[in-house]
């Protein structure tokens, strides 16, 4: 049975990196007869320019019908002056919430070839392999009420609401406990339970659920300490689980442990493992259009897509092996460049991954 993959290149470097990921997906589709149909649609600023809204109905319909979605990035200075409700980011957030993609998996793995590219000492990061499980459709990102209001004294007040219902906590905790079971059996839940009631409840529910997972060792950490520990001794972690905003912040920090945020893929899954896949980095407007962005996070996101939503483990493994191979060859985009390596463009990196896949699949 054929399956549908929807490509949403978006803004900034999005189209450049998705183009390379698309080449990879098409090649594997052909070589391994994956039976995938590829389609593409507008989201974010690109959609605003064409249709006036960041998430056109047509895009949402295609996304609902797809078996998996690959997204580049959204946003940029061009749309920064727009009112919050019609900004490019709403396109991304709208997809996440409409498709109920509550489980966001952000693995931070250090490729040994990139130990020198990290700003941390090699001994602190070598062998790093952690997974951040971020709740993606709740918390302060979506809590109501929100807005900017006028106070009686005439000044304006901005406000957002940090809320989590028990069921929301349980479903993301289940994802995290199960992920820990498949890894080293260690789960650290990150909260701010010394200040925020919502995370006191979070902690309570995690503790309660831990009884059903005797093979997982659960610990708790305040988010400020977690940020510090991530840069002090990141290898103490196996799986981290946290809410939407803390996860947003900690995953950027974790990305830098691996040398560059340009290396980090992510999966956002619903309860049935339908997913949207995207690099953890943003649209990087400062380098957009220059052909120098690192396409590997997006290409690795395709690998996650093949594994989690399309059941194509072999094809996923081929991509991961190909990426490792091009790093072995010393090819580096600017963000991961180090002395003695060969600096390549976005397209050259894509070419190299394609060539590596060719040679892997032939054997
Ligand atoms: C991310 C991004 C998004 C987020 C932005 C673009 C809305 O930073 O995926 O981490 O905050 O979730
Ligand atoms: Mg982020």
Show the 3-state SS of 75-104. CCHHHCCCCHHHCHHHHHHHHHHHCCCCEE
Q: Measured from the CB, is residue 139 less than 6 Å from ligand 1?
A: no
Could you confirm whether 224 is annotated as catalytic?
yes
pLDDT at 274: 94
Q: Measured from the CB, is residue 89 less than 6 Å from ligand 1?
A: yes
The ranges of the chain with pLDDT < 70 are 363
Beta strands in the chain (DSSP E): 3-10, 36-40, 68-73, 103-109, 129-135, 147-150, 156-159, 186-191, 217-222, 239-242, 265-269, 275-279, 331-332, 342-343
Altogether, the residues listed in the chain come to a count of 363
Counting ligands in written order, the one closest to the CA of 278 is 1
Q: Domain limits of the chain?
A: 1-114+271-363, 129-257
Q: Measured from the CB, is residue 14 less than 6 Å from ligand 1?
A: no
Specify the ligand 1 atom closest to the Cα of 252: 10
Distance in Å, CA 360 to ligand 1 centroid:
34
CATH number assigned to the domain with residue range 129-257, chosen from the 4 options 3.40.718.10, 3.30.365.10, 3.40.50.1110, 3.40.30.10 = 3.40.718.10
pLDDT at 155: 98
Kindly report the protein residue whose alpha carbon is nearest to atom 12 of ligand 1.
248
Q: Measured from the CB, is residue 88 less than 6 Å from ligand 1?
A: no
Q: Measured from the CB, is residue 11 less than 6 Å from ligand 1?
A: no
pLDDT at 363: 66
Could you confirm whether 141 is annotated as catalytic?
yes
Distance CA 327, CA 349 (A): 10
Mutation test residue for ligand 1: of 11, 69, 72, 92, the one with most atoms within 8 Å of CB: 92
Indicate which residue of 11, 67, 248, 335 is catalytic: 248
pLDDT in tens, 152-185: 999 999 999 999 999 999 999 999 999 999 999 9
Could you confirm whether 192 is annotated as catalytic?
yes
Strand partners, 189: 220, 241
Of 235, 97, 79, 242, the C-alpha closest to 169 is 242
**Residue 200, both tokens:** 């006191």
Kindly report the protein residue whose alpha carbon is nearest to atom 5 of ligand 1.
89
**Residue 58, both tokens:** 């047509």
Kindly report the protein residue whose alpha carbon is nearest to atom 4 of ligand 1.
248
Q: Measured from the CB, is residue 287 less than 6 Å from ligand 1?
A: no
Distance in Å, CA 248 to ligand 1 centroid:
6
Of 124, 141, 146, 133, the C-alpha closest to 242 is 133
pLDDT at 31: 96
**Residue 265, both tokens:** 């893929």
To the question of pTM greater than 0.75 for the whole model, the response is yes
1-114+271-363 belongs to which CATH class?
alpha beta
Distance in Å, CA 174 to ligand 2 centroid:
23
Kindly report the protein residue whose alpha carbon is nearest to atom 6 of ligand 1.
89
Mutation test residue for ligand 1: of 105, 132, 254, 282, the one with most atoms within 8 Å of CB: 282
Check: CB of residue 55 under 8 Å from CB of residue 91: yes
Confirm whether 1-114+271-363 and 129-257 share one CATH topology: yes
């Amino acid at each position: 049975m054929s399956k549908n993959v929807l490509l949403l290149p978006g803004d900034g470097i999005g189209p450049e990196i998705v183009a390379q990921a698309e080449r990879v997906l098409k090649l594997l589709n052909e070589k391994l007869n994956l039976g995938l149909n590829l389609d593409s649609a507008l989201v974010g600023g690109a959609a605003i320019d064409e249709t006036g809204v960041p998430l056109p109905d047509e895009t949402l319909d295609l996304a609902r019908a797809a078996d998996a979605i690959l997204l580049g990035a959204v946003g940029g200075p061009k749309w920064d002056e727009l009112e919050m409700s019609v900004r490019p980011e709403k396109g991304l957030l709208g997809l996440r919430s409409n498709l109920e993609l509550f489980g966001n998996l952000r693995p931070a793995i250090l490729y040994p070839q990139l130990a020198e590219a990290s700003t941390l000492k090699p001994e602190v990061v070598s062998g790093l392999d952690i997974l951040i499980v971020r709740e993606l459709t709740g918390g302060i990102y979506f809590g109501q009420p929100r807005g900017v209001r006028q106070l009686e004294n005439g000044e304006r007040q901005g406000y957002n609401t940090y809320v989590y219902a028990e069921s929301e906590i349980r479903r993301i905790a289940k994802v995290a406990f199960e992920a820990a079971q498949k890894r080293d059996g260690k789960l650290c839940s990150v909260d701010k339970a010394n200040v925020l009631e919502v995370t006191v409840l979070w902690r309570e529910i995690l503790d309660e659920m831990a009884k059903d997972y005797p093979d997982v060792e659960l610990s708790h950490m305040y988010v400020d300490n977690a940020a510090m520990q991530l840069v002090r001794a990141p290898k103490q972690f196996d799986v981290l689980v946290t809410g939407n905003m803390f996860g947003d912040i900690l995953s950027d920090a974790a990305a830098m442990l691996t040398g560059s945020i340009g290396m980090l893929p992510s999966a956002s899954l619903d309860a049935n493992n339908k997913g949207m896949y995207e690099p953890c980095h943003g649209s990087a407007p400062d380098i957009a259009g220059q052909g120098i962005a690192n396409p590997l996070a997006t290409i690795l996101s395709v690998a996650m897509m093949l594994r989690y939503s399309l059941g194509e483990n072999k094809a996923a493994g081929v991509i991961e092996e190909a990426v490792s191979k091009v790093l072995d060859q010393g090819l580096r985009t600017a963000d991961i460049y180090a002395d003695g390596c060969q600096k390549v463009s976005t397209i050259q990196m894509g070419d190299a991954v394609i060539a590596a896949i060719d040679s892997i699949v032939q054997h």
